[in-house]
Structure 1
Amino acid sequence: MLSHDRARRGPADPQRRERVIAATEEVLLAHGLEGLTHRAVAKQADVPLGSTTYYFATLGDLRHAALQRVVRRYVGWMHGWAEELGRPSPEELATALTDLIVMAHRDHRHQVVVDFELSVAAMRHPELRELATVYTTATVAMLSRMTSPATALALTAAMDGLSMLGLVSPEPLAPEQIRGAFLAILRADAAAGTGDQ
């Protein structure tokens, strides 16, 4: 049975490349960038070592493929989130963004860590930068449907900062702290809009 399964996973296996990318994410989740090696990915994917280097000659190639996968998933998820939210009031938007951060840290903490690690890697690896900036551009674009572009950028920066702070703080940030930060930005935007009228 094992040998038959191995044969089925041979060179003609159309899913092998995707399995290697998924395994790269899993290795990153478990061990971070420092633990990312072709050998670790091959073991996680249950493929020969040569399969990982066949599809991804360098660790940079592996990182890039994993980041593409993470970014696609994030953009798709955010589109669904924004569509469901519609046109919220500032208070509703502050609450929704707070819930988003709390949920991410509670249910997907390891994924959030990987997202930040891959983004940080882009600082030293120019080939990752275009993909890494998709997080910001996609989030700003979606929030711009609900508020001004400048406020959407400020909210996106606050999301990143609060999320990072939540990851490194000894105690989780209280939801009311997070919501207060978002409300401060949204109320400043409302005040500026009133002054312009």
Structure 2
Amino acid sequence: MTGTSRGPNDPHRRERILDAALDVIAEHGAIKVTYRKIAEAAGVPLGSLTYYFDDMQHLLTAAFTRLAESVSSRYGALLEAARTPEEAETAVVEIICGKVWGTDRNLLLSYELYAFATRHPELREVMRAWMQASRRSLARHFDPLTARALDALVEGFSIHNSVDAQPTDRSDVAAIVHAVAARRAP
């Protein structure tokens, strides 16, 4: 059969590996991730990881990029649907108080990405790309400084509300978002 083109036996293996990597990170933390744990979680042979990824850094970068793109997509969709400044503010409140993260696991994974990126500069580009995507989505409705402030507000409230015994309620978040957005340029 020389010269025949044969597709991969498992066309979704790479995606399963990335999903498993995120599961392992969520369970053990990025610092304790191993090829063996990921392969076991993905149900693939250990050699599959090195077939798809040059090294652990490459694998973690791809997994964290997948997370960032997934959350950014939901974040962006809410802001894209907004047609008025009021709807844009409501979208920001929903991003903070709703389920834009999808799951508490995704929020936990974002903490892991922040911590890991501080020690692994090559992952900072994933963080920068995620922040730029968020700010581009916000910039549809807000000037650049307000978009930056709202982006920080989204992340800060998301983190604080996830661990606070008395999270800031939606109406208070809405008042704060409105106060920040009200300073936008005409």
TM-score of the pair, normalised by structure 2 = 0.84
* C-alpha distance after superposition, 1:124-173 (max 9, x if no partner): 11111111112211111111111211111111111111111112322332
- More displaced stretch, 175-184 vs 26-35: 26-35
Measure how far apart 1:66 and its partner are. 0.4
Aligned-partner Cα distance in 1 for 2:76–2:102: 19
Q: How does 1:32-47 map to 2 (within 5 A)?
A: 32-47=29-44
Query: Any idea what SS the aligned residue of 2:182 has?
Result: helix
Show structure 1 runs of 5+ residues with no match. 1-10
Counterpart check, 1:144 vs 2:143: no
Determine which of 42, 46, 63 is the counterpart of 2:60: 63
Aligned ranges for residues 99-110 of structure 1 at < 5 Å?
Answer: 99-104=94-99, 108-110=103-105
The one-letter code sitting in structure 2 at the alignment partner of 1:183 is H
Check whether the contact 1:19–1:45 (CA below 8 A) recurs between aligned residues.
yes
- Tell me the equivalent position of 1:168: 163
Query: How high is the sequence identity, in percent, across the aligned residues?
Result: 32
RMSD of the TM alignment (CA)? 2.2
- The answer to whether the Cα contact below 8 Å between 1:20 and 1:41 also exists between their aligned partners in 2 is yes
Greater than 3 Å deviation, 4+ residue runs: none
**What letter matches 2:26 in structure 1?**
L
Give me the TM-score of the superposition, normalised by structure 1: 0.80
CA distance in 2, matches of 1:94, 1:165: 20
Q: Which has the larger radius of gyration?
A: 1
- Structure 1 CA distance for aligned equivalents of residues 46 and 166 of structure 2: 41
Partner of 2:5: none
Q: How does 1:98-137 map to 2 (within 5 A)?
A: 98-104=93-99, 108-137=103-132
Kindly indicate whether residue 61 of structure 2 is the aligned counterpart of residue 54 of structure 1: no
Aligned length: 179
Q: Do the aligned residues in 1 keep the contact of 2:75 with 2:100 (CA within 8 Å)?
A: no
Alignment-derived partner of residue 83 in structure 1: 80
- The CA distance in 1 between the partners of 2:153 and 2:138, in whole Å, is 13
Structure 1 residues 42, 155: CA separation in 2 closer, same or farther (over 3 Å shift)?
Answer: same
Greater fraction of residues in helix: 1
**TM-fit CA distance, 1:106:** 8.7
**3-state SS of the aligned residue for 1:133?**
helix
